[in-house]
Amino acid sequence: MSERKLRRMSRTELIDVIDTLRQDETPQDTEALRRVDAERKRLTERRRFWRVLRGTVSTLIVVAAIAVLLATLLLPVLQVSGDSMNPTLQDKDIILLVKTGDMKTGDLCGFYWQNKLLLKRVIGLPGDVITLDEDGVVTVNGQTLDEPYVDELALGECDIEFPYQVPENRYFVLGDHRATSIDSRSSVIGSVEKSQIVGKVFLRVWPLSGFSLMS
């Protein structure tokens, strides 16, 4: 029996051929039996391979779907663009945000502005009174704000009047790199509506050397 004919047979047909040869085996059938049995094993291994492959692909599809769902609904992914959050976040860093309506002073938040997703730090909550002097020192409700995350204080681009009371359902936000950041000090952006906020930054995932929880 030729190799070509054997390869065209199904596994069931090969088993039938093996049974027939074994019932009335002759020396001439020994080689044929060996070849048929080898082909049967090859088919069995091939079926096992495709079964494992299908299972693996199905698992990966499910995992990917869950990851996309989480990223869309719970954990938006964002790549940092620019230096307005230096030194806390660097250009090209990749971070995860968690969706929450509970923002606190000092939280890093992502929010939509003119179809762009911006990153800033929450400085003032609704109702807070903010002042900013010429040296860039921030005062909230009469208390000077301790800002260890800022390398160098600066007034920056500022065209609003102080003291400034944060309106209801809005947040006053600043970038950590005060000299270059465009933020709530500028009337271009102003205070950020609660509905604009996508979430709170909680994890930096890239670069790996900077992998860390963000607080």
The catalytic residue positions are: 84, 120
The C-alpha atoms of residue 27 and residue 105 are separated, in whole angstroms, by 89
Using alpha carbons only, how large is the chain's radius of gyration in Å?
Answer: 33
Q: Which residues, including other chains, have CB under 8 Å from residue 75's CB and lie 6 or more apart?
A: 96, 97, 98, 99
- For residue 50, the one-letter residue type is W
Q: Which residue, chain included where needed, has tokens 């190799």?
A: 3
The residues facing 206 across adjacent strands are: 94
Asked if 198 and 117 touch (Cβ cutoff 8 Å), the reply is yes
Q: What is the 3-state secondary structure (H, E, C) of 86-101?
A: CCCCCCCCEEEEECCC
Quickly list DSSP for 52-90.
HHHHHHHHHHHHHHHHHHHHHHT--EEE--SSTTTTTS-
- Tell me the C-alpha to C-alpha distance, in Å, between residue 22 and each of 4, 5, 36: 21, 19, 11
Q: Which pair of tokens denotes residue 52?
A: 């494992």
The C-alpha atoms of residue 74 and residue 133 are separated, in whole angstroms, by 38
